[in-house]
Structure 1
Amino acid sequence: MKNLKKITGAFVLFFLFAGGFIFAQDRAINANQLPKTAKNFLALHFKGIDVGSATEDREIYGVDEYKVYLANGVKVEFDSKGNWKEVDGKHQKLPYGFIPASIRNYAAKNFPNTYVIKIEKERWSYKAELSNGLDLEFDRDGNFKRIDD
């Protein structure tokens, strides 16, 4: 009887896990369907640059993230609430308004002839890629940790 419960439990977990992959999908959306926080971010930091396309990544439990591709090639990823997670300039200089001041200052002081072309905000850290190809890692307060290879 115990084995039957374990096997049944394993099947239920398997189908729930597999179902997440089956039902997970990207769906094209209109830019005005983005969360207000995301729309405000784009209006403030990428003023005058049109949204080329936008998608929402839907999971079984709801929207997981949004991806926005701007007309100038920049890609911005937002979490389900519209907070930015990653901004990839595709080798273009990113606007500095949303990048923490300590990261901007560190890059400007230590790598004066470079600029940030990509930044990722993770739960406990930031990763910034510079125009010279270096990847810098910072803690969540923006303090330099290391150069990442």
Structure 2
Amino acid sequence: MKNFRKITGALVLLFLLAGGLIFAQDKAINANQLPKTAKVFLSTHFKGIAIGSAIEDREIYGVDEYQVYLANGTKVEFDSKGNWKEVDGKHQKLPSGFIPASIRNYAAKNFPNTYIVKIEKERWSYKAELSNGLDLEFDRNGNFKKIDD
């Protein structure tokens, strides 16, 4: 009886995982299908840089995120509402307008001759990668926490 329960539990788990993989999928979309917030972000901070491709990441419950690849190689990830989550310049200097001033100022003051090439906004923190390879962590208010290894 115990083996039957284990096998049944394993099969149920397998079906749930398989169902999640079937329904979770990436779909190429037209840039016009991005949420308005994402379109405004791109036109404001990456004006004149064409969108190479846009991908909608769907989960069972709906859209999880959007990934946008710009013609200059930059990758921008947005949440389901179009708010930026991560901007990766692929070793290119990022425009600074959307980066919190405290993070920009800390990086400029403490690491002159470098620039931010990637920034990630998490629920309670920010992570910024500098052109020299250092990863800096900040709290959600933009106060420096530590250098990440």
Fold similarity call, TM over 0.5: yes
Aligned-pair CA distance for 1:61:
1.1
Aligned partner of 2:95 in structure 1 is 95
Q: Unpaired runs of 5+ in structure 2?
A: none
User: Secondary structure of 2:102's match?
Assistant: helix
Aligned to 2:64: 64
Name 1:35's counterpart in structure 2: 35
**Structure 2 partner of 1:128:** 128
Query: Could you state the TM-score of these two structures normalised by the residue count of structure 2?
Result: 0.91
What's the C-alpha RMSD, in Å, of the aligned pairs? 1.8
Cα distance in 1 for partners of 2:35, 2:13 equals 32
| Distance (whole Å) between structure 2 residues aligned to residue 91 and residue 6 of structure 1 | 49
| Structure 1 letter corresponding to 2:25 | Q
- Show CA shifts across 1:9-40 (max 9, x none): 76545423331112211110000000000000
Which residue is 1:19 aligned to? 19
Query: Which runs of no fewer than 5 residues in structure 1 stay unpaired?
Result: none
Q: Partners in 1 of 2:19 and 2:83 — Cα distance?
A: 27
* Cα distance in 1, alignment partners of residues 6 and 75 from structure 2: 45
The question of 1:109 aligning with 2:129 is answered no
Report % sequence identity. Answer: 86
Post-superposition, which runs of at least 4 consecutive aligned residues in structure 1 deviate over 4 A? 3-14
Q: Distance in 2 between matches of 1:138 and 1:62?
A: 30
- 1:79 is matched with 79
Q: Which moved more, 1:129-138 or 1:12-21?
A: 12-21
**Distance in 1 between residues matched to 2:71 and 2:41, nearest whole Å:** 16
Give the residue type in structure 1 aligned to 2:15: F
Aligned length: 149
TM-score by length of 1: 0.91
User: Aligned pair 1:148/2:145, yes or no?
Assistant: no
